Amino acid sequence: MPLIELENVEKVYQMDGLEVPALRGVTLTIDPGEFVAIMGPSGSGKSTCMNILGCLDRPTAGTYRLEGVDVTTLHDTALARLRNRRFGFVFQSYNLLPRTPAVENVELPMVYAGVTDRRPRALAALDAVGLRARARHLPTQLSGGEQQRVTFARAIVMSPAIVLADEPTGNLDSTAAGEIMSLMERLSHQGMTIVLVTHDAEIAAHARRLVQFRDGRIVRDEPLRRRPERVGGPAG
């Protein structure tokens, strides 16, 4: 069964009495374990699509089935529960609580879900992103790349079905961005489903499938070949 099925999804925003079409009939199927990059010019509907995928917003028309369930019929509480249990979110800005140690930031989704054995699970998630030794550090005591790795730990700590990452490397230098992409590849190898929005073709090249948006529609959807190993020779 596909993990995600969007069928003819439309989204129209109302602004000052005007209708702003953001998605104009998007059909997209994502299977478990896929690593999908979404690209497209600014205003083409990428964020709107991610918000709908993550159940942060509802389509104006069309259907969205998640693991076979039509989520457009769910009430807000059921939707919130689904968001908490089945999705991990990573944004360009890290959205960490600044006066709260890394490990407690990672525990937050488990607090909302009422999970009791939080500390060992949070430490295991920090271990998975290579930051076990920084568990007691405050976000301000971590580099940008490390903070983003903490948000990945927070995103995966509930063992979600899918991680949605919107420009996760947007604020990072190329070294830190490279570390984040290695981390995403590792999660993907472990079977995590990942959808990544980026404007950077080099970043997108780490994914296994590229979906291109334009004017609220998908204009390209194709598999990406695994990048050849660079054996000697100049990079690029």
Q: Decide whether 24 or 81 has the Cβ nearer to ligand ADP.
A: 24
The answer to whether residue 45 forms part of the interface with ligand ADP (CB under 6 A) is: yes
> Does residue 101 contact residue 123 with C-beta atoms inside 8 Å?
no
> Does residue 11 contact residue 23 with C-beta atoms inside 8 Å?
yes
Distances (CA, A) of 59 to 5, 201, 213, 223: 13, 28, 17, 26
Q: Decide whether 17 or 234 has the Cβ nearer to ligand ADP.
A: 17
* Spatial strand order in the sheet of 193-197: 87-90, 162-166, 193-197, 35-39, 209-214, 217-223
Out of 26, 44, 158, 176, the residue judged to bind ligand ADP by CB under 6 A: 44
Q: Decide whether 105 or 198 has the Cβ nearer to ligand ADP.
A: 198
- Closest CB 200 distance from ligand ADP, rounded Å: 14
Select from 45-53, 62-70, 73-81, 187-195 the region that touches ligand ADP (CB under 6 A). 45-53
- Closest CB 15 distance from ligand ADP, rounded Å: 5
Per-residue binding string, ligand ADP, 7-26, x by CB under 6 A, is ------x-x----x-x----
- Closest CB 100 distance from ligand ADP, rounded Å: 29
> Does residue 118 contact residue 111 with C-beta atoms inside 8 Å?
yes
The answer to whether residue 46 forms part of the interface with ligand ADP (CB under 6 A) is: yes
List the structure tokens of 178. Answer: 């490279």
The sign of the CA dihedral 23, 27, 33, 34 is: negative
User: Is residue 230 helix, strand or coil?
Assistant: coil
Q: Decide whether 14 or 140 has the Cβ nearer to ligand ADP.
A: 14
The answer to whether residue 42 forms part of the interface with ligand ADP (CB under 6 A) is: yes
Q: Are strands 61-66 and 217-223 parallel, antiparallel or unpaired?
A: unpaired
Interface residues toward ligand ADP, by CB under 6 A: 13, 15, 20, 22, 40, 42-48
